[in-house]
A = this chain, B = another copy of it.
Amino acid sequence: MSTPKQIKLGFVLFGAGPGYDDWRHPDAVVDASTNIEHYRRQARVAEAGKFDFLFVADSVFITERSSPHYLNRFEPLTILSALAGATSRIGLVGTLTSSYTEPYNVARQFASLDLISGGRAGWNVVTSWLSGTAANFGKAEHPQHETRYRLAAEHLHVVQGLWDSYEDDAFPRDKQRGVFLDPGKQHQLNHKGEFFSVRGPLNISRSPQGQPVIFQAGASEEGRNFAARHAEALFVEAGTLEATIAYAEDIRRRATAFGRAPDSYGLFPGLRTVVAPTEEEARRKYKEAQSLVRIEEALKQLGVPFDGYDFSQHPLDEAFPELPASAYASNRSVSERIAGFARDNKLTLRETALRSASPREEFVGSPVQVADAIQRWFESGAIAGFNYVESLPRQLDAFVELVIPILQERGLYKRDYTATTLRGHLDFAVPENRYTLARRTGAAA
C-alpha cells in the first residue's frame, strides 16, 4: 500500500455505541439505532469534520442475547439512502452479506445508492459468521468459512460485472433522432459459476465514480486473500500498532502477488477516542464509562466472535476457559486472537471480557495527546486512515472540534473536500467500464 499524504477518516453509525452497556451512559440516546434524527445529526457533524465516509455495519441473525445495537436497527441500504439527502459530500458505505443475498438485487441496490448520492457508495462485503443465520434463510446449514469466501468472491465478481452493464455513453437520449439507448453499449453478463448463474444486464447505469468502492475486513487466511485480491478499503482490528503494521505487510505481499498496484487499496484500523479539553477530564470520562459496564453484558459481548458462545457458564476469576471447537469455527481469526491474548497475558475470563469492552487507553487524553497518537499510527506508513467509532456520547463532536483542527494545522488532514465522490476522497481511480476498455484495447472484456 502506498500511504496517502493525508489521513482518511470513516465514521461508524453505531447506535448508542458498540458496547453492550453503552446505551446506559447518562447522555446516551437510548433509541439511537432506530432514530433517524440522531443519525442525520451525526452524519452532518461528520461531514462538517470532512470525514470521507459513513459506515454502517450489519448482521441478519439475532437472539435475545444480541447487542442492544444489533437487536433493533435500520437496514444499511435504506438508512444510507436516507442520509444521502441529508449530506452532499461524505461517502456512504454499507455492509451486506454475500452469503444470503442475490447478486442481481445487491448490485442494483448499491448502484442505485451510488446514483442517488452522485457517486458516494461503498459496499463492505461480509460473509456472516453466526451459524444461526442459516435458519433465517431456509438453509439446512451455514456454509463453512472457506466456502463462504469462495461464494463471496463469485458473488462480488457477478456484482461488479453487472455494474458494468452499461457503458458510460450508452444513453444518447437524443430526442430528434429518437435514440434513447445505444443497444451496442448494453451488455449481458451471462455468468455461469459454481454458486450463481446470472444473465444481466442490470437495469441501472454507472455513477460518476464508475463503481461503488469495495470494503472488506478479512482476518483469516481466506479473508486476507479475499481482501488482498478484491478489496479497496480494508478494515483491520489487529489490536496494536505493531500487529497492524504486520497485517499491512502481509496484505502488501499478497496484493503484489495478485498483481495489484499499491495505490489501489488502503487500510483502516478502528479508532475510539476519549478526548476532552484536558487529560484529567478525558480520564475521568473514560473511568465513568467503564463503571457502567456490567460483567454479564461484557460476557455476552465477548461471546459474539465465538458464534454466540455462552461464557456465563464459566467461573469469572479463573483463567480463560477451554472452549469447544464449534466456538472457534465461524470466526476463527478473531476468536483465536482474543483467546491467545488472554492466555499469553494470563488474563482471567473477567479481565478478558472487560478488556474487550473498552477503548484502548492510547487514544484517551487531551486533544494534543490524541492527535499525537493518531500521527504516530499514520506515520508508520501502514495505514490510509481510521474508521472512527464513538466510545462515548458526542465524542464525534469533541473529536471534530478538538482534534481535527490540530491535524489540519499539522498538514495531516484536509481543510475541505477536494472531490465529490467516495473514490475521489480515497484517491482511487475510476475503473474504466470493462467493455469500453476492451473496445479501446482490442482485448476481450
Contact = CB atoms under 8 A, between A and B. Distances in A.
B105 A71 contact: no
A85 B204 CA distance: 23
A115 B36 contact: yes
Interface in A64-108: 64, 66, 68, 70-75, 77-79, 81-86, 100-102, 104-105, 108
B136 A199 contact: yes
Contact of A82 (B28, B66, B81, B175): B81
A358 B345 CA distance: 77
A26 interface: yes
Q: How large is the interface on A (under 10, 10 to 19, 20 to 34, 35 or more residues)?
A: 35 or more
B104 A60 contact: yes
Given A23-B173, A30-B175, A77 B78 contact: yes
Given A26-B175, A101-B105, A138-B197, A112 B75 contact: yes
A23 B171 CA distance: 12
A180 B34 contact: no
A77 B76 CA distance: 11
Copies of this chain present in the complex amount to 2
A69 B425 CA distance: 32
A116 B36 contact: yes
Contacts of A171: 31, 71-72
A205 B173 CA distance: 44
Given A77-B77, A105-B60, A21 B183 contact: no
8 contacts: A23-B175, A28-B175, A62-B201, A81-B82, A85-B85, A85-B86, A105-B105, A135-B198
A395 interface: no
A26 B175 CA distance: 8
Nearest to A72: B205
A258 interface: no
A24 interface: yes
A31 B204 contact: no
A109 interface: yes
A178 B24 contact: yes
Nearest to A100: B102
Nearest to A170: B72
Contacts of A204: 34, 72-75
B72 A203 contact: yes
Nearest to A105: B101
Nearest to A138: B197
A181 B71 contact: yes
